Amino acid sequence: MRIILTGGGTGGHIYPALAIAKELRERHPDVEILYIGSETGLEARLVPKSGIPFESIEISGFRRSLSFENVKTVYRFLKGVRRSRSLIRSFSADAVIGTGGYVCGPVVYAAAKQGIPTLIHEQNVIPGLTNKFLAKYVSRIAVSFTGSAQYFPTDKVVVTGNPRATEVAKADPTRGRSSLALSGSKRLVLVVGGSRGARAINEAFIEAIPQLEKQRNTHFVYVTGEVHYEQVKQMLEQSGQTMGNISVFPYIYNMPEVLATTELIINRAGASFLAEITSLGIPSILIPSPYVTNNHQEKNARWLEGHGAAAVLLERDLTANSLVTEIEQIVHVPQRLQLMKQAAKKLGEPQAADKIYEEIQKLMRR
């Protein structure tokens, strides 16, 4: 079995692809996998760490307003299709799977035009532009949310959940706690702004530290994002905070294991992260990014909130005080914390990777 995976830009597109790769390897130890991404995307760093061969194409996304840059994007797309066609042929792919981000556009399109079975996975409630474009050409469309099905051809859609949930559901909490050098039985609250970090969350959390330091039964793991780490570190040193119950990291590579030992998470509302936390039944305070297309993060967050699994705090309302208040109203109210855990767990789909694997098998048997 020879499979090409593609998707990138952010962890939300990359981690589902890596989860599919892990499932394929577990089912077929002799499977050969090639990942095609962008050299400038996060995938160029994350994919090689997983031991998967990586090839790159040059591509950029469309601007929604009229711009000469879109002419350049069309040129890069056509160039990317030619490069993808060559990579697909030389690899002799049996199927091509795209998990979103503009980089998977030319790859999946090239495969579909060559008659190779193709599957795309949509993580968000509201689909992205690339997957909307590819929907016409692909063999199958897997979605995380039932509400996404209305945006795609009904005869191609299957609701699978997010494959990242399968990987995270199997994570070892003991290893997660050990990797953070945490001992004792303190509850763990994880603060993270997505794979690249979030300035607004960083600023509010830093200002909230004097209040959070008083919560001695709670340890806060604060992930700044690599691009913000040095600035945050300098700010913390200048503030003179003791940081006794707070650990600061630029990035966490074993996130599933850390999540497995987390009591509450404060985060953006990217779809893959929501799949991860619901697979483990983790309550959340979600701060949707207002800078994403179609405001899809708020729609994702409201979905969890509507099921009782999360509290939503919009960035315009985010302050140190509002953040501390939300934390205290969950962490210090055991009944609410437990109800949110149960609600999150009900939304989880730990068998998502298995379902996608079965769909791949069906396509290859056609």
Structure confidence by residue, pLDDT tens digits, 10-41:
888 999 999 999 999 999 999 999 999 998 88
DSSP E strands in 118-186: the ranges are 118-122, 140-143, 157-159
252 is in an annotated binding site: yes
Q: Could you tell me where the beta strands, DSSP code E, fall in the chain?
A: 2-6, 32-38, 54-57, 95-98, 118-122, 140-143, 157-159, 187-192, 218-223, 246-249, 264-267, 284-286, 310-312
pLDDT of residue 109: 97
Top mean-pLDDT range of 126-135, 219-228, 308-317: 308-317
Q: Is position 10 annotated in a ligand binding site?
A: yes
Say if residue 195 carries a ligand binding annotation. yes
The reply, when asked if residue 297 is annotated as ligand binding, is yes
Q: Are 97 and 118 in contact (CB under 8 A)?
A: yes
Domains of the chain with CATH codes:
2-162+350-365 (3.40.50.2000), 169-347 (3.40.50.2000)
> Of 46-50, 92-96, 100-104, which one has max mean pLDDT?
92-96
Determine if residue 11 is labeled as part of a ligand binding site: yes
pLDDT at residue 242 tops 70? no
Contacts of 61 (CB under 8 A, 6+ apart): 73, 102, 129, 130
pLDDT grade for 236, boundaries at 50, 70 and 90: confident
